[in-house]
Amino acid sequence: MMNNKKVALINHNLGPGGVSKYVYDLARKYKEKGLSFSVIALTGGDDIYGKELLKQDIEVLFLSGKTKIYDIRYIRKLIQILKNYDIIHVNTFPSQFWTACASIFLANKLYILTEHSTTNNRREKWWFKYIDKWMYKRYSKIISVSNEVNKNLQDWLTPSKKEKSKFIVINNGVDLDRYSKVVRIKRQLINPSLTNDQVLICMLARFAPPKDQKTLIRSMTRLDDKYKLLLLGSGDQSAEIQLVKDLNIEDKVIFLDYRLDADSLVKSCDISILSSNFEGLPLVVIEAMAMGIPTIGSDVDGLRDVMQDGGLLFECGNDEELANKIKMLAEDKLFYDKISKKGLLNSKKYSLDNVIDSYLTIYELLNKPRELKK
């Protein structure tokens, strides 16, 4: 039974980002269900979600106050900490690798890994396949957040027929009840230049090349002045800011760092966009749908899965097609409402409560003595 088992939820940090927010949401739900657990981060101490969890009396352990995530000393620290836990549930690399190394010295533990992305930089290096094959073999169960994530991971690892039984799919989920109650922020409080008669577009994502905010920025040159863009996220914004200057559209684009009321900012917008080059199963899209905000996404692995039944897709990198899709929504109220309703209905398939029920079932099944002996 889970009431006498202790769970460790591990991520490399608890700063701004989709996986960190996912771990944060899981932790809050685990507390509601009365589980015995802790959240463990390789780095941090001042991270946005780490501070919020501590405020809610959820135990958070930081292995280092530094930002360095590639440090062999994490193995020793994990060995010392994880000996007090029964189930170790890991998200993201290199947390997955350091935990796999620690598992060599910690027998009789259950190691579970959640894979969040359809690809990563490691798969660009042939020799990394051998490291990854060893690492994933250290886990009792490998959970992918979408069918595409699972397919791509198995294509990379080429597991044996016996090993394939460890791979399962549990779609990401969001707290649907919470997102149904998100309240808008007055646009003028976001930025004094914004008015209610403008078409406000937003993209909530960290600033990094795979997210490709630049395609969305270029699409703004094809739209008239009533269209405004809000770019919200952590990371270095300098390249995107420079592009906005070069295109002379500074009066049409607003940059904001990530903040805890990001959901309310998205709710205040008319259209939500994610122009990524690849994704796993992006929570920001599901969250926007759950708030009734029509969404547009690039036609790539991960996004395609969640968007095809509740949003609009455009060719990755094609700013002209993206601008046309934006105008389709903004200029046709009936079509806008149709996509809004389809998205809201589609979001119901991605309930965080269902995800957690599936996780707990796995925890309990793997804890059975007959499973441990295998």
**Hey, what domains does the chain have and what are their CATH numbers?**
2-173+351-372 (3.40.50.2000), 177-347 (3.40.50.2000)
Longest dimension (CA), the chain: 66
Residue 17: CB partners within 8 Å, gap ≥ 6?
A: 206, 234
Q: What is the dihedral of CA 114, 17, 285, 190, to 10 degrees?
A: 160
pLDDT in tens, 119-177: 999 999 999 999 999 999 999 999 999 999 999 999 999 999 999 999 999 999 999 99
User: Residue 299: left if φ>0, alpha if ψ -120 to 50, beta else—which one?
Assistant: beta
Query: What percent of the chain has pLDDT above 90?
Result: 89
What confidence score (pLDDT) does residue 122 get? 94
Record the pTM: 0.91
DSSP 264: H
What confidence score (pLDDT) does residue 52 get? 95
In a 3-state reduction of DSSP, which class is residue 254?
Answer: strand
What confidence score (pLDDT) does residue 69 get? 87
Token couple for 10: 């591990």
CA distances from 308 to 28, 243, 312 (A): 30, 30, 7
CB neighbour burial string for 71-84, b if at least 16 within 10 angstroms, e if fewer: eeebbebbeebbee
What confidence score (pLDDT) does residue 179 get? 96
Token couple for 44: 């941090």
- Residue ranges of E strands in the chain: 6-11, 36-43, 60-64, 87-91, 110-115, 141-144, 167-169, 199-204, 227-232, 253-256, 271-274, 295-298, 312-314
Sheet architecture: strand order including 227-232:
253-256, 227-232, 199-204, 271-274, 295-298, 312-314
In a 3-state reduction of DSSP, which class is residue 113?
Answer: strand
Ranges of the chain with pLDDT below 50: 369-374
d(C-alpha 294, C-alpha 272), whole Å: 6
pLDDT in tens, 190-216: 999 999 999 999 999 999 999 999 999
Say if residues 264 and 182 touch (Cβ distance below 8 Å).
yes
What confidence score (pLDDT) does residue 133 get? 98
Single-letter residue type at 75: I
What confidence score (pLDDT) does residue 68 get? 83
Provide the CA 191 distance to its chain's centre, in angstroms: 27
What confidence score (pLDDT) does residue 367 get? 75
Say if residues 69 and 43 touch (Cβ distance below 8 Å).
yes
d(C-alpha 373, C-alpha 364), whole Å: 15
Give the chain's end-to-end CA distance (angstroms, integer).
19
CB neighbour burial string for 281-294, b if at least 16 within 10 angstroms, e if fewer: bbbbbbbbbbbbbb
What confidence score (pLDDT) does residue 308 get? 84
d(C-alpha 51, C-alpha 81), whole Å: 20
d(C-alpha 290, C-alpha 267), whole Å: 10
What confidence score (pLDDT) does residue 371 get? 46
In a 3-state reduction of DSSP, which class is residue 227?
Answer: strand
| Cis peptide upstream of residue 94 (ω within 30 degrees of 0) | yes
Say if residues 202 and 229 touch (Cβ distance below 8 Å).
yes
Single-letter residue type at 190: I
> In what helix (H) or strand (E) does residue 101 lie, and over which residues does it extend?
helix 95-103
Task: Residue 359: name the closest of 41, 141, 116 by CA.
Answer: 141
